[in-house]
Amino acid sequence: MTGLDTKARFADPDAAYRAIIEAHRGLTESQSADLNAALVLILANQLGDIAVLREALALARATIGQQSDA
Amino acid sequence: MKPAEPFARFAYQRHADQARAKPACHPVVIIGAGPVGLTLAIDLKLRGIDCVLLDDQDRIGEGSRAICFAKRTLEIWDRLGCAAPMLDKGVRWNVGKVFQGEDLLYQFDLLAEPGHKMPAFINLQQYYAEKFLVDRAQALGVDLRWLNRVIGLQSGAQGARITVETPDCTYFLDARFVIACDGARSPLRSMLDLEFMGEQFEDQFLIADVRMTADFPVERWFWFDPPFHGGQSCLLHKQPDDVWRIDLQLSPHADTEHEKRPEVVRPRIARMLGHGAFELEWISVYRFQCRRLERFVHGAVIFAGDAAHQVSPFGARGANSGVQDADNLGWKLAAALRGSAGLIESYDQERSQAADENILNSTRATDFIAPRHKAEARFRNAALALARQTEFGKRFVNSGRLSTPTTYADSPLSTKDAAPWSAGPPPGAPIPDAPFRNGYLSERLGDGFALLHWRASAAAAEALGVVDVSDEDEALIARFGLTPGAGYLIRPDRHVAARFHQMRQGALTAALSRAGAA
């Protein structure tokens, strides 16, 4: 069984996505990257499971190159 | 800066071996009289093994170098009878502080639980440590030959012949084992054409020993991005004799020769200290490196210390792990010379594991202290920012994870637990010290195998040192998770070979045999 849950876990995913976007509003690109770095560390600690963290990192890595630049 | 003077100088003496028609043959020849070679020579001497210790210099000196000696190292030196002068001279410290800019991010306290004979760490210039080791080696009559440089090596499975150059002649020595403790640039490694595998990091650090009277507390202070050294890292540590060690990170592209010049170093340090009332004693520049030999044992030639593996300095894992190499090797060499050669292979296996653990910790600290690119720096800075307000953020901050002895998991010498234990060091782990009678367990154990038990019938252990735990030894009982009838088989290097809830002759004999005691 995989540890990373890829099913939707939020009752309202739109609200969660919106909350993340809003946190970045008004930030420069560099500040935005700083915020993401802090957020990743906070969420990784909340996860507290190195195996699941590695799965999440692998999934994120797999999206590199699949994201089209706007 | 004053011209460097050697801290101690020793006389070259012509040895009778130099005039022999046929090369003299010794059981063990150790190359390099640094902390590792000296520790091993003293250990072997105490085990009654004739060994020769060669060094290509005739002096100790040249800066503080290794300065942090950890509890395990001090326990080893205590067993060898030379910890007392180190403790007298060394500076004891327990508190470390981590700053970012001008702000204290957090502090840690290494103060161990009570009932250990040795402190967590002492700071002591390597030249003092070496001097005390030389004193002990000479008092024991170790055959220590200064200005004896190895210039040739022929090695086979059954022994090696080395060519030694001295001020008045070149001579040959034969040895059953040659132990290369000849440092990070190991000439013996080159003679065997062995690859030193690993990585060199780009960032450079400047080390300065500064003499001054200052009322900084006796603590380890580490700064990320200090106001006096923008964007880089810095470490401040106290040594004896009012000498302070300062490590300053330099940019990867800094010109080493320029940075080392006293007129360039002085203003940097004056900015840091806020005054210029200090003397520069020693300046050096280094790059972080994490490297190791693939194997430490090559027939009759065995590598130990920096010659075998090298790590970055933030963590005190260099000299400390080297001394533990010597501690692991001494009793195994003694056994091999009595005919049980199989133990030597376990040196390679166990100390390889320790080297990998040290390299892993050292690499992680290096990545944190000196981020390699912008994204890494961003995460590092995020962790530092979070450390100001969260406990987990502090735990991400890595200014060096300080040296602790390795547990030899899966050692071929260990007997697996037959049933679960709720506490105590597992097989392969180093044993903790504990109060025992009017002193300490570490003083009660000798140089050989020992059986520690609580109310077991220890008739099994005639050839062993026996530590007979009594009901009053509560701290020891708790630390080892002992129940009545239980016992530990402890190796000469004070790692656990086996443990039993109920001691039985057959199981103990089997464990002794597996650990190489038979």
Whether residue B504 has pLDDT greater than 80: yes
Distance from CA of A39 to the nearest CA of B (A): 9
pLDDT the model gives residue B105:
92
Q: What is the DSSP letter of B17?
A: G
pLDDT tens for B442-482 read: 999 999 999 999 988 755 556 688 899 999 999 999 999 99
Closest-approach residue (CA) in chain A for B380: A37
Distance from CA of A5 to the nearest CA of B (A): 24
Residue linked to tokens 């001394």: B323
Distance from CA of B371 to the nearest CA of A (A): 14
Q: Are B186 and B180 in contact (CB under 8 A)?
A: yes
pLDDT tens for A29-62 read: 999 999 999 999 999 999 999 999 999 999 999 9
Q: What average pLDDT does range B204-215 have in this prediction?
A: 90
Q: Is B378 on the interface with A (CB under 8 A)?
A: yes
CATH class of B435-514: alpha beta
> Between chains, do B378 and A40 touch, taking CB under 8 Å as contact?
no
Closest-approach residue (CA) in chain B for A33: B378
pLDDT the model gives residue A69:
62
> Between chains, do B383 and A41 touch, taking CB under 8 Å as contact?
yes
Q: Is A27 on the interface with B (CB under 8 A)?
A: no
Q: Are B269 and B214 in contact (CB under 8 A)?
A: no
Tell me the domain boundaries of chain A: 29-65
> Between chains, do A34 and B381 touch, taking CB under 8 Å as contact?
yes
pLDDT the model gives residue B195:
96
pLDDT tens for B18-44 read: 999 999 999 999 999 999 999 999 999
pLDDT the model gives residue A1:
46
Q: Is B257 on the interface with A (CB under 8 A)?
A: no
pTM of the model: 0.94
Chain A hits for B382, Cβ within 8 Å: 34, 37-38, 40-41
Q: Is B393 on the interface with A (CB under 8 A)?
A: yes
Q: Is B396 on the interface with A (CB under 8 A)?
A: yes
pLDDT the model gives residue B463:
61
Q: Is B222 helix (H, G, I), strand (E, B) or coil?
A: strand
pLDDT the model gives residue B403:
86
Q: What average pLDDT does range B159-187 have in this prediction?
A: 97
Chain B hits for A40, Cβ within 8 Å: 379, 382
B356: left (phi > 0), else alpha (psi -120 to 50), else beta?
Answer: alpha
Give residue B374's pLDDT band: very low, low, confident or very high (50, 70, 90).
very high
Tell me the domain boundaries of chain B: 8-91+122-196+292-360, 435-514
ipTM, two decimals:
0.93
**What are the start-end ranges of the H helices in B54-178?**
71-79, 83-89, 126-140
> Between chains, do A34 and B382 touch, taking CB under 8 Å as contact?
yes
Q: Is A28 on the interface with B (CB under 8 A)?
A: no
Q: What average pLDDT does range B168-196 have in this prediction?
A: 97
Q: Are B473 and B149 in contact (CB under 8 A)?
A: no
Q: What is the 3-state secondary structure (H, E, C) of B397-428?
A: CCCCCCCCCCCCCCCCCCCCCCCCCCCCCCCC
Q: Which helix (H) or strand (E) element contains residue B68? A: strand B68-70
pLDDT the model gives residue B274:
87
Residues found in chain A: 70
Q: Is B184 on the interface with A (CB under 8 A)?
A: no
pLDDT tens for B106-141 read: 898 887 678 999 999 999 999 999 999 999 999 999
Q: For all residues of chain B together, what is the average pLDDT? A: 93
Q: Which CATH number fits domain B8-91+122-196+292-360: 3.40.30.10, 3.50.50.60, 3.20.20.70, 3.40.605.10?
A: 3.50.50.60
* CA neighbor of B460 nearest in space, from B407, B413, B498, B410: B498
Q: What average pLDDT does range B218-242 have in this prediction?
A: 91
Which residue did the predictor score with more confidence, B378 or B112?
B378
